[in-house]
Amino acid sequence: MTTQEMKIAFEQAYGHKAEKIFFAPGRVNLIGEHTDYNGGSVFPCALSFGAWLLVAKNNDRVLRFRSMNMQEVYEIAIDAIAPQANRAWCNYALGCIDIIARRHPEAKLESGYDLLYYGNVPAGAGLSSSAAMEVVTARAFTEEMGVSYADDKKYRTELALIGQACEHEYAGVMCGIMDQFASAQGKKDHAIHLNCDTLEFEHVPVKLEGIKVVITNTHSPHHLDSGAYNDRVRQCHTAVEQISKVKPIKFLAELTEEDWKEVESAITDPIAKKRARHVVGEVARTSAAVEALKKGEIAYFGELMTASHVSLRDDYEVTGPELDALAEAAWQVEGVLGSRMTGGGFGGCTVSLVKDEAIEKFKAFVGAEYEKKTGLKADFYVAEIGDGVSRLE
């Protein structure tokens, strides 16, 4: 889909031309899963596919929402902005507009708008299509409502925080900041080492000579709002409460692996203990993986990715048979350095490091093994690491 085709679709839908076009990417997390809301670090990168938004003012004091990916159309008065029922897709955009106004007293929505979205992030793949929609909306409407920052990095962080607040309040998913942050702060050919507690971050060059990042889609959609994600958040809070009786902490990520040996017996809830063990180990793996990438130790980076999946499978229990089938098949292919689930889990995608000469063999073997075990067909994407949110026109 080209931007010219999007412009034509906008004019056909609304009878007038779009005034501006914005884009925000999806993301893949290389390592550091379910650490973000536990105060830990993550290591995502923005992708070259994501969400586009075309906007133009109207004279009717209403917000009109259309998507080239969805059938439902919404029209909401600008004086009556509130969450829409039945998990309406427009909530991911509407919430951002509401939150901008609440976070920024100077922000004014002085006109109605016609909006058209298009996304090419595979639906339900766990590559943050919702975060891309939130961040692209936040980017457009901070501009339209007169919110400005002299510091671009601070501005992009604010866009991420707006998107996260929208996810919490309008979608009911108590997500961490990683997805929105990667969409806002992404940089071409770099991953982001982000401390989710302080929001301090570093762009780390991704130099994979003769190796590609391959994303494999289970086509088993993940459902973060099904309750399982929020259950994990609560279980981690339980672990923090019990550990704090012997060692005061705010987040599980404050614990080193040595600390863990000293405090794990304080957790009486066996499920909470497993969740905490994953978080502590994953924080350590993420730091080690970033250093490995900086040093060019790609084989070790891959080993850490694989160890991450095992922990997510056994201790955090968010993989499921589809993601396990993909990862376990990938581990058998010569030329695969590592493979793990990425995203919230419960379906979605794996991310693998694959040598160039092994990519076709990887696709054939993993695809066949996956279909044999699950009856589903996987899709494969050789990822390109792109920039964060921007105004295109």
Among the options 98, 114, 179, 324, which is catalytic?
Answer: 179
Question: 44 is written with which tokens?
Answer: 């995502």
Query: Which residues lie across from 55 on neighbouring strands?
Result: 20, 115
Instruction: Return phi, psi of residue 253, to 5°.
Output: -70, -10
The span from the CA of 170 to the CA of 93, in Å, is 9
**Cα–Cα nearest to 302, from 286, 289, 284, 315:** 289
Residue 179 annotated in active site: yes
Our measurement of the distance from residue 172's CA atom to the centroid of its chain's CA atoms, rounded to an integer in Å, reads 16
DSSP-derived letter for residue 261 is H
Stretch (H or E) spanning 203: strand 201-205
CB-side exposure of 214: number of CA atoms within 13 Å? 31
Backbone angles phi, psi at 320, to 5 degrees: 90, 170
Q: Which of 143, 129, 120, 221 is nearest to 183 (CA)?
A: 129
Distance CA 243, CA 266 (A): 6
- The Cβ of residue 146 has, within 10 Å, a number of other Cβ atoms equal to 14
Yes or no: say if 62 and 126 are a contact pair by the CB < 8 Å rule.
Answer: no
Q: First vs last Cα of the chain: how many Å apart? A: 16
Q: Active-site residue numbers? A: 179
